[in-house]
C-alpha cells in the first residue's frame, strides 16, 4: 500500500488507503487503533499512482516568480505524475548562496508519463532544463 501522499501536505490516509487498510484489518481480525504518524514509517516511499518504489536524485531548483500552475497542470500532476520531480520548484526569491540543486524523490514511471503529457503542449511543464542531464 502506498502511504506517502502525506508528503504533499496531507497528514492522513486517502480514502482508498483507508479502505485497503480496513479490509486488511478485518480479514486478519485486527482492530487498528493507531494514528497516521505511527503508520507512516512502516511503509516505504511508493508512488501513489504507479505503486512502485521512489528513487532519490539531485535535481535543479527552478525559480518561477509568482507563477502558479494552471488547474489542468495541477490535476494532471496529481493523477498522472505526482512524483516526476525532474525539478524542484524554489521560492520566488533567489537567495545568494542558496543551492541550485536539491535532493528529492522521484518515480521513473511518472517521468515517462510527464514527458508524454508534455508532447505538443505550448508551454511545457516540469521538464528538466535543457542543460541538465
- Cite the beta strand spans of the chain per DSSP E: 55-62, 88-89, 101-106
Q: Residue 111, interface with Zn ion (CB under 5 A)?
A: no
Q: Is residue 107 involved in binding Zn ion (CB under 5 A)?
A: yes
Determine, following the binding rule CB under 5 A, whether residue 110 of this chain makes contact with Zn ion. yes
Applying CB under 5 A, does 76 fall inside the site for Zn ion? no
Query: Is residue 109 within the footprint of Zn ion (CB under 5 A)?
Result: yes
Strand runs labelled E in 5-128? 55-62, 88-89, 101-106
3-state secondary structure string across 42-65 = HCCCECCCCCCECEEEEEEEECCC
Say whether residue 80 binds Zn ion (CB under 5 A).
no
- Binding window for Zn ion (CB under 5 A); candidates: 25-33, 69-77, 97-105, 107-115: 107-115
Q: Per CB under 5 A, does 49 bind Zn ion?
A: yes
Span interacting with Zn ion, options 46-54, 57-65, 71-79, 95-103, rule CB under 5 A? 46-54
Residue 3 makes CB contacts below 8 A (sequence gap 6+) with 13, 17, 39, 40, 42, 43, 46
Cell (9 digits) for 72: 489542468
Q: Which three cell numbers stand for residue 118?
A: 508534455
Total of chain residues touching Zn ion, rule CB under 5 A: 6
CB of 33 to Zn ion, least distance (A): 31
Which residues are near Zn ion by CB under 5 A? 47, 49-50, 107, 109-110
Amino acid at each position: 500500500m502506498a502511504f506517502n501522499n502525506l508528503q504533499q501536505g496531507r497528514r492522513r490516509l486517502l480514502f482508498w488507503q483507508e479502505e485497503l487498510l480496513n479490509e486488511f484489518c478485518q480479514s486478519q481480525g485486527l482492530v487498528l487503533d493507531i494514528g497516521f504518524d505511527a503508520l507512516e514509517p512502516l511503509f516505504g516511499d511508493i508512488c501513489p499512482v504507479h505503486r512502485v518504489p521512489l528513487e532519490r536524485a539531485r535535481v535543479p531548483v527552478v525559480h518561477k516568480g509568482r507563477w502558479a500552475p494552471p488547474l489542468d497542470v495541477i490535476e494532471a500532476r496529481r493523477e498522472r505524475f505526482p512524483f516526476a520531480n525532474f525539478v524542484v520548484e524554489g521560492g520566488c526569491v533567489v537567495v545568494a548562496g542558496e543551492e541550485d540543486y536539491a535532493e528529492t524523490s522521484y518515480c521513473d514511471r511518472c517521468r515517462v508519463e510527464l514527458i508524454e503529457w508534455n508532447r505538443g503542449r505550448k508551454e511545457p511543464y516540469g521538464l528538466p532544463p535543457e542543460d541538465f542531464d
